[in-house]
Amino acid sequence: QTSADLAGLDGEVYIQKSQQGGGSPMIRGFSANRLLLVVDGVRMNNAIFRSGNLQNIVSIDPNTVETTEVIPGPGSVIYGSDAIGGVLSFNTYKPGVSSTSNLQMIPFVSARYSSASGEKTMHGRLVVTKGKWGSLLSVTYSAFDHLRMGKDGPEDYLRSWYAEGRSFNGADKVIVNPNPEVQRNTAYNQLSLMAKLRYRPNSKLDVTFGAMHSATGNVPRYDRLIVTKNGLPRYGEWYYGPQKWNFFTFQTGWYPENQWFDRLNILTGFQRFRESRHDRNWNDPILYHRSELVDVGSLNLDFEKKFSGKYFLSYGLELTANKVNSAGESENRMSGTKMPVTPRYPDGSLYETFAAYMSGESQISEVRFTGGLRFTLTHLKGSFESGIYEFPFKGFKMTHPALAGNVGMLWNPDPEWQISLNGSTGFRSPNIDDIGKVFDSEPGNVVVPNPELKPEMVYNLEAGATWMSGEKSRIELNIFRTWLDNAMVRRPFLFDGSDTIFYNGVPSKVEALVNTDHANLYGASLGIKLNLLADLILKSQTTFIHGKDSDGLPLRHIPPVYGSTGLVYEKERWYVRFNMQYNGSVSNDRLAEEEKDKPYLYVPDKEGLPYSPAWMTMNFAANYRLSQNLVVSLGIDNILNKRYRPYSSGVAAAGQSWIFSAVIDL
């Protein structure tokens, strides 16, 4: 139902959700701003992508995604900062062009309903081509009701009460939930638009302009709304305001095949992100509003050249510029009085990067060698002089250099086998969120700025073996070892000599990100695709990851063993899929310290300590083509109606859900 769900569909990417209107991917033990999101070749990560769980992936309309590529491991040579754990690359539909001058119009309409979330999605798309021109228009609207969990599972996840906070008139009210399986305060809606125009006058030039818009309604922060204090809810209100994303691209592909390059891709992008947070303590009339607007411009120049069929060279430049506008305000819900408060970030902050890279391949007999280097300069600037707090520093202005590289080998001893060895480094430069943020990491704790932060580095070794038989059978095993150095981690901190300050009227322990940690991670993944019969395929993907920090403590974004195994039957008008998704348990001694402080997300073990139970779901889906232009689908997710909550998630997953959809493709 969202691009987060799409990314986690095959069991390769783990998805955490703090609320229904969210989804934070995890790859190889890394998440949030240690993963890079890419849309149509443009990096989505901006200056305020945080180390905590992110929700920006839901701004990508899954109905417009043509392909999704998961690149595990450091990808900094090609993609730059943030590509430490991996890259998630989404490519949206691109209009074709026609060899004739006739006008062609291809409409596409789909509708979908899901019972557990009450999802109602309508999607329409129109492709128009005429000779050298092609265009595409797309619109999607989704409305989600309060999410219903399953019946069979821990009672700790039940929602027996909820707060009616939006109508505050002097006192908040706790309301008994008539159906504790329904997670009140999870409903939201979303609108997505896309337009593309393409011009291809000949085989050597291809120009595409794209525009996207995505906007949610208010999204309740469910994991904060289930927290209690002294037997009462901790918050009367906590919600994200509309998350809006505008995205414009202009891409030119030129194929001159000269002595310097065969292909030049010029990609310019502009993005505008709007987001806000709104929270109010229980029985407190003061509602805090904090809003951000981030403008991001980017330019990529990518060159490619082939030499005699055995050698390939790519090189290029990247420029990005981010400007962060941030504001804070308190509103008295009784009197209507509004007052300025400290913003989340220093207003007007700048985050800029310049990078150059080179990557090459060489084929020698049955072995292909790869290697590459990238150099990046990151510049940050911000001021605290206009802030509400009296900081012990006026602002920050810094430049960080970073160098990343990779070497690899791919050996094909025979047509059925492929052996790979790779070594790579990656980096993540501090952004405005790391350097200048003030926020509550959890109730009773506040994170303050640390202008002394430096880039964190990652070093990675991996090996893989792949067996292939034809196009439909494949078994792939990968193992990796990763070392994270100079890691930015949240630690207790002194602010003007004190370990406690007042934040939103509450005394809070001071924390800050510091470069004092390193981590050691290792893991393996096994992917299986076997053609059992002519029309029956077995698919399986399982991932195991283990990691600890320098103190031997578990890392926050290490999920348990997880994966998906299923059967796919495809013949003539039928497409049928049955699969099982599974997730191991996380005992208390394997929980990160940050997670142990959130018992409301977990279940008590025999000793009363929080842990995350294992779970497994069975799922079924069938598509049938009634005619050349009409496809109908029926699916049942979580057939056994299991009640479970994925590791680190704030919201329980959907219970048994009947899914109906229809597609008209003319």
The continuous run of DSSP H or E covering 77 comes out as: helix 76-79
Distance of CA 320 to the CA centre of its chain: 20
Q: Report the amino acid identity of residue 343.
A: P
Q: Please give the Cα distance from 252 to 263 (Å, whole number).
A: 10
Identify the residue whose tokens are 């992936």. 57
pLDDT of residue 167: 66
Instruction: Please give the structure tokens belonging to residue 15.
Output: 């998805």
Neighbours of 518 (CB within 10 A): 15
Contact 425, 410 (CB under 8 A): no
Residue spans per domain, the chain: 3-665
pLDDT of residue 387: 59
Instruction: Please give the structure tokens belonging to residue 235.
Output: 């918050």
Contact 114, 659 (CB under 8 A): yes
List phi, psi (to 5°) of 79.
Answer: -110, -15
**How many residues are there in the chain?**
666
- Which residues are paired to 246 by β-bridges? 213, 272
> Which three-class secondary structure string do you get for 399-417?
EEEEEEEEEEEEEEEECCE
Q: Please give the Cα distance from 88 to 33 (Å, whole number).
A: 12
Identify the residue whose tokens are 């220093």. 346
Q: Give the three-state DSSP class for 178.
A: coil
Contact 38, 56 (CB under 8 A): no
Residue range 632-662, pLDDT digits in tens? 999 999 999 999 999 999 999 999 999 999 9
Distance of CA 469 to the CA centre of its chain: 33
pLDDT of residue 10: 84
Burial pattern 430-458, b for ≥16 Cβ within 10 A else e, equals: bbbbbbbbbbbbbbebbbbbbbebebbbb
Nearest by Cα to 9 from 438, 617, 643, 640: 617
Q: Please give the Cα distance from 556 to 18 (Å, whole number).
A: 15
Burial class (CB in 10 A: 0-12, 13-18, 19+), 411: middle
Q: Please give the Cα distance from 243 to 217 (Å, whole number).
A: 7
- DSSP label of 50: -
pLDDT of residue 443: 66
Nearest by Cα to 344 from 20, 30, 47: 47
- Which residues are paired to 640 by β-bridges? none
- DSSP E strand boundaries for 493-573: 500-503, 506-533, 536-549, 562-571
Q: Give the three-state DSSP class for 33.
A: helix
> Which three-class secondary structure string do you get for 260-323?
CCCEEEEEEEEEEEEEEEEEEECCCCEEEEEEEEEEEEEEEEEEEEEECCCEEEEEEEEEEEEE
Nearest by Cα to 4 from 42, 52, 51, 61: 61
pLDDT of residue 169: 76
What sign for the dihedral angle of Cα 234, 162, 653, 84? negative
Q: Which CATH superfamily is domain 3-665 in?
A: TonB-dependent receptor, beta-barrel domain (2.40.170.20)
Contact 100, 130 (CB under 8 A): no
- DSSP label of 653: P
Contact 374, 348 (CB under 8 A): no
For the chain, how big is the Rg over CA atoms in Å?
Answer: 25
Contact 326, 24 (CB under 8 A): no
- DSSP label of 535: T
pLDDT of residue 571: 93
Q: What angle do CA 658, 663, 666 make, to 5 degrees?
A: 175
- DSSP label of 431: -
Q: Give the three-state DSSP class for 58.
A: helix
The continuous run of DSSP H or E covering 3 comes out as: helix 3-7
CA distances from 498 to 451, 488, 493, 510 (A): 18, 21, 8, 8
The ranges of the chain with pLDDT < 70 are 165-167, 386-393, 439-443, 504-505
Contact 246, 215 (CB under 8 A): no
Neighbours of 235 (CB within 10 A): 22
Contact 4, 636 (CB under 8 A): no
Identify the residue whose tokens are 């700048």. 350
Q: Report the amino acid identity of residue 425.
A: T
pLDDT of residue 395: 80
Contact 145, 654 (CB under 8 A): no
Contact 88, 68 (CB under 8 A): yes
Nearest by Cα to 548 from 513, 568, 521, 527: 521
Contact 370, 361 (CB under 8 A): yes
Distance of CA 76 to the CA centre of its chain: 17
Residue range 316-348, pLDDT digits in tens? 999 999 999 999 999 998 889 999 998 999 999
The continuous run of DSSP H or E covering 140 comes out as: strand 133-144
pLDDT of residue 388: 67
Q: Please give the Cα distance from 432 to 556 (Å, whole number).
A: 22
